[in-house]
Amino acid sequence: MINQPNIIFLLTDDQRFNTIGCHNNKAIHTPNIDELMKRGTYFENACIQGGTSGAVCMPSRAMLHTGRNLFHLQGSGEEIPKEHVLLGELLQKQGYETFGTGKWHNGTSSYARSFSKGDNIFFGGMDDHWNVPVHSFDKTGKYNNKSYKTLDYLKCNDKRTFISDHTHTSVHSSDLFANSACEYLESKTSNNPYFMYVSYMAPHDPRTMPQIYLDMYSVDDIEIPFNYLPEHPFDFGQRSIRDEMLENYPRGEQAIKKHIVEYYAMITHLDDTIGKIVEAVKKRGDYNNTIFILAGDNGLALGQHGLMGKQNLYEHSIRVPLLFSGSNIPKGKISKANVYLNDVFPTICELVSIATPQSVEGKSLNNAIYYDDLIRDDMYYAYKHTIRSIKVGNLKLIEYRYDKLKKVQLFNLDDDPLEMNNIAKEHKEIVKKLQKKLIAYGNESDEKKTIHGQAFWNNF
């Protein structure tokens, strides 16, 4: 067991797929991620399956840690039942020392099952990056401490409760979690291999970061997205969700550029802290025996299609970065395989020669990493009770059901990767064929046993 590779999992919050400097975005600075890219295999078609909550990151992270499908979670992933084996839980039973820091959005008991060590744990979805209410590691797994914040002390007396026992005032979340990771690496003395999970809150809003990173970008140098719109062409029930309220309607070009500048600056700051973790691994002498995994929990619109958030099924919101780098991983490879985030769990199992639990439903990506397997022919996505989508080859169908709205979109992603030209009216036979496949996936997913699935399909 001592010779097993170490695993470092870096999970970012709201980072979409096209935010890596050396691969798909010359406007952004990500030198440390770029270095990991050179030493690894990147999945450029990695996606989330969607979400059953407006807080998309919650089911996304539950799928990631259990390897289960969207409609086979308990609820939206608020809690993870004991029969769903967790990634950290499995590795710990196989002799790994497991360390977790940062955001954990799936209940205290599942965190306790996953990690034998940890520090500065944030049990929540989002907060002020400079004053994160975090909890110290509790070996009993109880996490009973609570702290309070007044929601808006200028306007009301309402308070919010956190599972927390301290706050590091004026320490940015990215630095806080990376520092915790580095301190763990510096103090580790056992010979056991380690699984270290560093779960960032960045680049999720509120998008603030040290000024030095903001100064690296200028609104004047940022290009407006080609699929920018002042407003989405139709209302599918998300106009007043929190993410969409971050910018007024109609969205102005200068306002969107400012959002993008802040988004890029947060990612560059995050990238800098990743560099510190990599250096700490090198100092330990572990660099050549460590697998680094970088992933995002969901994407983000930021002005594309007139949207701001991730509560949709366009490519910008469902596609995420996914990178395996380091120990015996093919270098500089770009895979076009169709993969979901829940495929990470079985992939890790196969990489370290551990049997995959029966509760895991994802597919191992090893044949894509070492060969050229495309893993899946089709991809199926769902958002709450309002949207369903299927991608078959270069064709993508999106079906909307909201109130009296029944809307269909068809895109040819080869010709129209930004999903600007709806060709559904010109290709009615293709729409019908894809709708049949959509219905079949709806049946296979067991979603009709859930509230969201019933509501969508009863309105189809």
Tokens matching residue 67:
């390897």
Distance CA(252)–CA(228), nearest Å, equals 10
Q: What is the distance of C-alpha 250 from the center of its chain?
A: 28
| Confidence at residue 151, expressed as pLDDT on a 0 to 100 scale | 81
Over range 290-304, report the average pLDDT.
98
Question: Residues 188-195: what's their mean pLDDT?
Answer: 95
Count of residues making up the chain: 460
Share above pLDDT 70 across residues of the chain, in percent, rounded to a whole number: 100
- Return the CATH class of domain 6-376: alpha beta
387 bridge partner residues: 383, 400
- Location of structure tokens 């407003």: 231
pLDDT at 447 (0 to 100): 95
**Closest-CA residue to 270 (of 197, 173, 130, 135):** 173
Which among 360, 369, 299, 362 has a CA at the least distance from the CA of 337?
A: 369
* Residue 145 backbone phi and psi in degrees, to 5: -70, 140
Confidence band of 1 (pLDDT split at 50, 70, 90): low
| Helix, strand and coil percent figures for the chain, each rounded to 5 | 30, 20, 45
Q: Give 260-277 pLDDT, tens digit per residue.
A: 999 999 999 999 999 999
Angstrom distance (rounded) from CA 34 to CA 41: 12
pLDDT of residue 75 exceeding 70, the answer is: yes
Rounded to an integer, the average pLDDT of 411-423 is 98
Dist CA 389 CA 399 (whole Å): 6
Task: Specify the residue for token string 């496949």.
Answer: 437
CATH of domain 381-457: 3.30.1120.10
**The predicted structure's pLDDT at residue 418:** 98
Is 418 within 8 Å of 17 (Cβ atoms)? no
Q: State the pLDDT at residue 154.
A: 87
The whole-number pLDDT of residue 2 equals 60
Give the mean model confidence (pLDDT) for residues 403-420: 97
Residue 342 pLDDT exceeds 80: yes
Share the mean pLDDT of the chain. 96
The SS3 of residue 398 is strand
> Which pLDDT tens digit goes with each residue over 38-56?
999 999 999 999 999 999 9
Neighbours of 17 (CB within 10 A): 24
- The two three-digit tokens of residue 177, written as one number: 């979690």
Is the pLDDT reported for residue 233 higher than 60?
Answer: yes
- pLDDT of 252 higher than 60: yes
- pTM score: 0.97
Please report, for the chain, the start and end positions of each structural domain, with discontinuous segments joined by +: 6-376, 381-457
Question: From the centroid of its chain, how far is CA 254?
Answer: 27
List, for residues 8-26, the tens digit of each pLDDT value: 999 999 999 999 999 989 9
Closest Cα partner for 363 from 22, 43, 143? 43
pLDDT band per the 50, 70, 90 thresholds, residue 155:
confident
